Amino acid sequence: MEGIYSFLAFYERKTAEVYEKILPSIKNSTARLLISILAIDSRKHSEVFRHLSGEKVPDKAPEANIGVIAGEAITILKDAEGMIGNKPSLEILEGLVRYEKLMNEEYLVEIYSKAVDLRQKNDAIKKVLNSIAEDEARHRDFLELAVNLERGTPSPERG
């Protein structure tokens, strides 16, 4: 399991870096705030996973037995990082929405269920992992809202 934690620590840090790099190009101040929150949460998650792995956050992507969905999400994140400064921020944000959706699906269905199963006797770790899973679901919503704000379109009402 530590391999997955190391993998998650790396990609949470990488996600934070991408959000931080795109911030200066976001025109809408509320959208910038939302993206800032995503970066802060991702850094926080990276630190949690670093702690759980028992190692420092790796400098390069570690090998891990991840699902196809997470692999596709990682490709989107790498592409988004490469587009910063070369493509409109709105286009990059739209890609990041797909990234968050894919990673959220992978987190909630596979990675967290494995982690919680392995840590059944540790209620504190279970609560931390559940909190991160809740953050990830919120991230997609925040990112979709940021895209709408950047477009200048109102967000749909949520029930």
Instruction: Quote the domain boundaries for residue 82.
Output: 2-151
Classify residue 29: in a domain, yes or no: yes
Question: Residue 21 belongs to what H/E stretch?
Answer: helix 2-22
- CA 106 vs CA 4, 112, 146: distances in Å: 12, 8, 22
Q: For residues 48 and 114, which has the higher predicted lDDT (pLDDT)?
A: 48
**CA neighbor of 35 nearest in space, from 10, 16, 14:** 16
- The count of other CB atoms within 10 Å of the CB of residue 60 is 5
> How deeply is 4 buried, as exposed, middle or buried, from its count of CB atoms within 10 A (0-12, 13-18, 19+)?
buried
Is a pLDDT exceeding 50 seen at residue 158? no
pLDDT attached to residue 74? 78
Within-domain flag for 146: yes
pLDDT at 109 over 80: no
Residue 158 falls within a domain, yes or no? no
- Any idea what the CATH number is for the domain that residue 141 is in? 1.20.1260
Model pLDDT, residue 76: 84
3-state SS string for 52-87:
HHCCCCCCCCCCCCCCHHHHHHHHHHHHHHHHECCE
CB 98 within 8 A of CB 75: no
Count the domains in the chain.
1
Q: What pLDDT, on the 0 to 100 scale, is given for residue 116?
A: 56
**Does residue 157 sit within a domain?**
no
pLDDT band at 118 (very low <50, low <70, confident <90, very high): low
The pair of structure tokens assigned to 56 is 């420092």
For 44-55, write each residue's pLDDT tens digit: 999 998 998 888
Question: b/e for 135-144, b at 16 or more Cβ within 10 A?
Answer: bbeebbebbb
Residue 159 has pLDDT above 50, yes or no: no
Give alpha helix (H) positions in 25-155: 29-53, 68-83, 89-106, 112-118, 123-151
pLDDT tens by residue, 36-83: 999 999 999 999 989 988 888 878 776 666 666 667 777 888 888 899
Q: Does residue 156 form part of some domain?
A: no
Is the residue at 51 inside a domain? yes
What is the per-residue pLDDT across 120-157, written as a single tens digit (0 to 9) for each? 557 777 778 778 878 888 888 999 999 999 998 765 55
